[in-house]
């Protein structure tokens, strides 16, 4: 049974079939669709299929009692490589208000303190400056550029940025974890894709 998580501003609760219409509307916005893609005509079915994945936990991001987006995680359980990964999308109406950072930080704290993960990863498109800023504010650091990582809607390949967060770097004051921040206090070097 998934837990409901409370951030500074957002609530992350287990996603249900009742959330599919709201999430379909968000995933169909041009800003979210450009990054998450999918079949616009079959978006609801695609989201339902995502919810059925047994190895991924899906949360709805709620803000002021409304569905503002979704965040999900899965884990690599091989003991020598154990870590978790996070993916998120947020209604463009709520962009720029810190809700994405709050959601990522809240889930990160839960994965570290509640599931014992020592390392988390997230992999935005290298040209997605807003997402990279969001994840950096949540404590993630750039690791490196993954060249030609993802195929775009036009069929061409685009770079991705691998970012990670170590348990010891979870920012102080994170809703479900953190504590005294260890290691460097700066977010680390910014890794830019090759020109």
Give exposure, 81-92, as e/b (b: 16+ Cβ within 10 Å).
eebbbbbbbbbe
pTM (2 decimals)? 0.86
Residue 193, pLDDT above cutoff 70: no
Distance CA 173, CA 123 (A): 24
Distance CA 102, CA 176 (A): 11
Sign of the dihedral through C-alpha 14, 15, 18, 23: positive
Question: What is the pLDDT, as a whole number, of residue 180?
Answer: 30
Question: What is the pLDDT, as a whole number, of residue 39?
Answer: 85
The better pLDDT of the pair 171, 61 is held by 61
Using only C-alpha atoms, the chain has a radius of gyration, in whole angstroms, of: 16
What is the pLDDT averaged over residues 44-69?
Answer: 95
What is the pLDDT averaged over residues 21-27?
Answer: 97
Geometric angle at alpha carbon 136, from 134 and 98, rounded to 5°: 30
pLDDT tens digits, residue range 80-114?
999 999 999 999 999 999 999 999 999 999 999 99
pLDDT tens digits, residue range 129-181?
999 999 999 999 999 999 999 998 788 999 999 999 999 988 765 554 443 32
């Amino acid at each position: 049974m998934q837990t409901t998580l409370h951030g500074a501003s957002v609530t992350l609760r287990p996603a249900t079939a009742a959330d599919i219409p709201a999430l379909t509307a968000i995933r169909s916005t041009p800003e979210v669709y450009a990054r998450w893609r999918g079949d616009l005509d079959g978006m609801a079915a695609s989201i339902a299929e995502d919810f059925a994945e047994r190895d991924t936990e899906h949360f709805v991001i709620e803000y002021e009692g409304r569905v503002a987006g979704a965040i999900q995680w899965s884990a690599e359980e091989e003991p020598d490589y154990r870590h978790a990964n996070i993916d998120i999308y947020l209604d463009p109406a709520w962009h720029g208000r810190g809700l994405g950072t709050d959601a990522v930080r809240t889930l990160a704290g839960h994965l570290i303190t509640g599931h014992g993960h020592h390392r988390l990863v997230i992999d935005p498109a290298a040209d997605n400056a807003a997402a990279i800023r969001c994840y950096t504010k949540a404590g993630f650091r750039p690791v490196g550029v993954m060249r030609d990582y993802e195929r775009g809607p036009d069929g061409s390949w685009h770079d991705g940025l691998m970012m990670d967060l170590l348990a010891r770097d979870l920012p102080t004051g994170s809703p479900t974890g953190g504590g005294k921040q260890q290691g460097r206090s700066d977010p680390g070097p910014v890794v830019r894709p090759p020109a």
